[in-house]
Amino acid sequence: MDRLSLEHSGDRFCPSTIKIIDSNLGMIVLTDKEEFSVMLPERLNECELLILLKWQELKEEQGLTKAQFAFAWLRTCLSEEAFLILVKACEPERVAEWAVDCAEIFLANNEGLTEQKLPVLSIKRLRLVGQASRCPSIRFGQWVEADEQFLLWYKSKNDKHLAKLAAILYRKDREKEYDSSMNAEIANRLLNEVERPILLLIAEFWAGCRALFEARFKRVFPKVLEGESTEKKEIKYADIRNMVLAYHEKLVQYAKTPDRKMAMYQENAWTVFEFIEYDLKINEQLKASSSNT
């Protein structure tokens, strides 16, 4: 913003010479001496935390026209100073056209948020640490419980499920193992002490990471084809738990104790789903070979 050389006359900016160059999401305003570049993010993973929080609020607004949404997105991405310089240095029609193009590109490239932009939550002497980008270390128990709360929120839009989701994904600092007994207490504090856009951002992050699991494990998360019954394709959590139990019996020598379920929940979710995917693949091959005989 400091690079734009403009003369100030009363309440108007009066550039001596202006030339505008459009390049994808960048608009470069050139004066006779210096330049001012404006770049808008193409996808969620490129957005800074403040923009992501404003994006959550923007998504909640109802009844916006295409032009209104584009203008609001432009205001979301630019600081007040940058926006003021841009609209006073450029023709309104040009800015409006550019804003619509930028909004369309952003929406078309919305592949989901998988980069962690909020690694730590601090609320009144409580420090909570979130998952790393793309959730490489999430436990299987966390995955199952987080997805349950996410789906409940998606269906009901009740914010208590947002808080429970956040409590599952954000854990007390230095917690070595996932302890679900702490979830209710943490969720209650998050619901009452954390602003809603932050909880919505956490849900957006989970949705993006969940999509990575769906893309990697296509047999565990099969897509329903048009005209097919969803009941045939759905794999229930109970089925997954049974397969994980078999996984422990085959690959890990756990003692047969009442703590078996907790041990299962402490496994890395990627490892668990990798086994389930492999198990489903073998079953497919066995069914195919038996039908050919």
CB 78 within 8 A of CB 226: no
pLDDT > 50? residue 64: yes
Domain boundary among the residues 77, 108, 139 is at 108
Tell me the three state secondary structure of residue 8.
strand
Name the DSSP class of 131. P
Domain boundary among the residues 176, 206, 236 is at 206
Q: Classify residue 38: in a domain, yes or no.
A: yes
- 37 and 84 in one domain? yes
Q: What are the tens digits of pLDDT across the range 222-266?
A: 875 555 554 545 556 666 666 666 665 555 544 455 566 667 778
Whether this model's pTM surpasses 0.85: no
- 127 and 66 in one domain? no
- 194 and 128 in one domain? yes
The amino acid at 264: M
* Alpha helices (runs of H) in the chain, residue ranges in sequence order: 49-60, 66-77, 80-89, 92-108, 140-156, 159-169, 183-193, 196-216, 230-233, 237-251, 260-265, 269-292
Share the mean pLDDT of the chain.
80
Domains held by the chain: number? 2
Q: Classify residue 49: in a domain, yes or no.
A: yes
- Give 245's contacts (C-beta < 8 A, 6+ positions apart): 260, 264
Average pLDDT for 139-167 = 93
- 95 and 14 in one domain? yes
Q: Classify residue 99: in a domain, yes or no.
A: yes
Q: Classify residue 148: in a domain, yes or no.
A: yes
Tell me the three state secondary structure of residue 43.
coil
The model's confidence at residue 117, banded by pLDDT at 50, 70 and 90, is: very high
Domain boundaries, position 174: 120-206
* Chain position carrying tokens 């003021």: 84
Name the DSSP class of 139. B
Q: Classify residue 239: in a domain, yes or no.
A: no
Domain boundary among the residues 58, 87, 108 is at 108
Question: Bigger pLDDT: 264 or 169?
Answer: 169
Q: Classify residue 230: in a domain, yes or no.
A: no
Q: Classify residue 125: in a domain, yes or no.
A: yes
Q: Classify residue 293: in a domain, yes or no.
A: no
- 124 and 101 in one domain? no
- 26 and 82 in one domain? yes
The whole-angstrom separation of Cα 286 and Cα 11 is 77
- 94 and 133 in one domain? no
- 153 and 98 in one domain? no
Average pLDDT for 155-171 = 95
Token pair recorded at residue 262 = 């907790």
Q: What are the tens digits of pLDDT across the range 119-129?
A: 999 998 899 99
Torsion, Cα of 58, 61, 64, 68 (10° steps): -30
Helix orientation angle between 183-193 and 159-169, rounded to the nearest 10 degrees: 120
pLDDT > 80? residue 27: no
- 75 and 24 in one domain? yes
CB 48 within 8 A of CB 118: no
